[in-house]
Structure 1
């Protein structure tokens, strides 16, 4: 009985020790797993932080490179401008960014181009004047032929034939009558088949609609070039101003020489005259 009891006690002790060792082994395994998990998480965290740092460094390097490139682009696109009188020659922009004098040669070419522009506009102005003169000569020949043929020319009475200037009228009436006559737009509908109108003993000659249209196109070109010249003046550059001044003077000297007045034979015309 005692032996059995001792055997049972030994067996219980063996079971307890085996259970304890199993529990210790399980605890050791779990602690090892926890440590491994902690180490792996730490490694992953450090790797992620390293990748974040690398990406941050890449971002900084990229931003620095973009900043450098943008600054270089700004330096290339920058224009030297002033609203006061100046003598700038480097990186001066005129009218647009494409017209930029990045070199001395380009600035010199700009001055020569401005000179030529003033020369050409004086020539073009004289062409328009001569065109109108030749149109007038052609119309005169046509009107003379019409008069010789006995064809009736449209007649128009003077605006103030029925208006007594000696009669006492108030100031408002004197101002309003010419204004109302102007708003009748008779001058706008003056074109007729003969391109001429007889008023009293005078015949007024008008160009044809195509001649007037062509002259209008030429005048628009002249007007546009004059405004381009005005924009160039607004840069207050001394060299450009001098180029414009010389071009205008030479152009007027070459292309604006014309008669002062028309005198008929027998008129008292002095040989010497002071203007």
Structure 2
């Protein structure tokens, strides 16, 4: 009997060892549920990081957020309704400034064309006055009975082209900045951009229109020496 008790005790120890090994390999329902809860919590944390970055509300979907919203950087954070109202006014003014830069480029081009037209008139008058074919060339040109040649196309000087390039660069940079603000999909910001575009065009693009043979219209083209392309 004593000899039989030893194998039985060894068998029971082996079975208990197998049971403990299987219990460690196979998770219990309680452990599985806890793992699922932890995974859900991690997913929720990742979702919070998508909308809360450094205390800023950032969304890539259409939203109407006001307070705690950030634009372009964490330092540009709106912390009060009044600050958001000031931001909206500033964006309206930015879009108006964009239209002003566009108008300034057109005005400067027209200034260059008028300057070239005056130089062409002076050159034509000088050539007529010095001509031996007309005795009273100066009087004829003054009375307008002699048709002056049309203004020919010209290439701006280096410094003139530099000013044109500067105006274009400022216009391009400001337009790109406004586009970045619109990419936050904030409804108030987009409405302010639209309002600024309306006010800016209404005030700064209110021009005198006149028909042309090429189907274009121009500003004060009836009073200028040449038709200026805007």
Q: Tell me by how many angstroms 1:202 deviates.
A: 7.3
**Do residues 94 (structure 1) and 71 (structure 2) align?**
yes
Equivalenced residue count is 141
Deviations 1:28-66 (A, max 9, x none): xxxxxxxxxxxxxxxxxxxxxxxxxxxxxxxxxxxxxxx
* Runs (4+) off by over 4 Å: none
Q: Tell me by how many angstroms 1:143 deviates.
A: 2.0
**Do residues 208 (structure 1) and 185 (structure 2) align?**
no
CA distance in 2, matches of 1:230, 1:141: 41
CA contact (8 A) 2:117 2:151 kept: no
The aligned residue for residue 93 of structure 2 is 116
The aligned residue for residue 104 of structure 2 is 127
CA contact (8 A) 2:120 2:151 kept: no
Q: Tell me by how many angstroms 1:76 deviates.
A: 9.2
**Do residues 261 (structure 1) and 210 (structure 2) align?**
yes
The aligned residue for residue 167 of structure 2 is 218
User: TM-score, normalised to structure 1's length?
Assistant: 0.48
The aligned residue for residue 198 of structure 2 is 249
Deviations 1:149-184 (A, max 9, x none): 349xxxxxxxxxxxxxxxxxxxxxxxxxxxxxxxxx
CA distance in 1, matches of 2:53, 2:71: 15
Q: How does 1:153-168 map to 2 (within 5 A)?
A: none
Deviations 1:195-230 (A, max 9, x none): xxxxxx872123222111111101100000000000
SS of aligned partner of 1:205: coil
SS of aligned partner of 1:235: coil
What 5-or-longer segments of structure 1 have no aligned partner? 1-74, 152-200, 265-275
| Rg larger for | 1
CA contact (8 A) 2:64 2:186 kept: yes
Pair 76,224 (structure 1): closer, same or farther in 2 beyond 3 Å: closer
Pair 93,150 (structure 1): closer, same or farther in 2 beyond 3 Å: same
User: TM-score, normalised to structure 2's length?
Assistant: 0.56
CA distance in 1, matches of 2:116, 2:94: 33
The aligned residue for residue 60 of structure 2 is 83
CA contact (8 A) 1:87 1:238 kept: yes
CA distance in 1, matches of 2:187, 2:78: 15
Q: Of 101, 112, 117, which aligns to 1:140? A: 117
Q: Of 166, 176, 179, which aligns to 1:230? A: 179
Q: Tell me by how many angstroms 1:263 deviates.
A: 6.5
CA contact (8 A) 1:122 1:248 kept: yes
